[in-house]
Amino acid sequence: MTFSEKYDKVLTGLISGLVFPFIIGLIIYIFSSGTNSLHSYLARIVESNIITQSITLCVFPNIFIFLIFNRFDMLRASRGVLAITIFWAVIVFGVKFLT
């Protein structure tokens, strides 16, 4: 069983598409927070009313995961990343229209 056959599962795409935005958000926090705690950093994002932009910025790199899975012909995993990205888009629209 090759690497692509082993990990070509929808669950692999779902997990990677869900976890990767949190990793990107953590990286953004590390480089842009200065001396703020995570709580005060998130409070500043909420006060500035840039929640949807922050979520979108963190979810945008899912495109690269999708393209990597697609390039290696891991279409089931690509389908999982696409599904979770649509889920993130629904969350962004919900936050945008409810706040």
Given a contact cutoff of 8 angstroms between Cβ atoms, the answer to whether 32 and 68 are in contact is no
When the pLDDT of each residue in the chain is averaged and rounded to a whole number, the result is 92
Q: Residue 65: which domain range?
A: 3-98
For residue 33, what pLDDT is reported? 78
Measured CA to CA, the distance from residue 46 to residue 81 in angstroms comes to 27
- Give the count of domains, the chain: 1
Is 52's pLDDT higher than 90?
yes
Is 66's pLDDT higher than 80?
yes
Angle 58-68-64 from CA coordinates, rounded to 5°: 20
Model pLDDT for residues 14-23, shown as the tens digit of each residue: 999 999 999 9
pTM for the predicted model, two decimal places? 0.87
Is 2's pLDDT higher than 90?
no
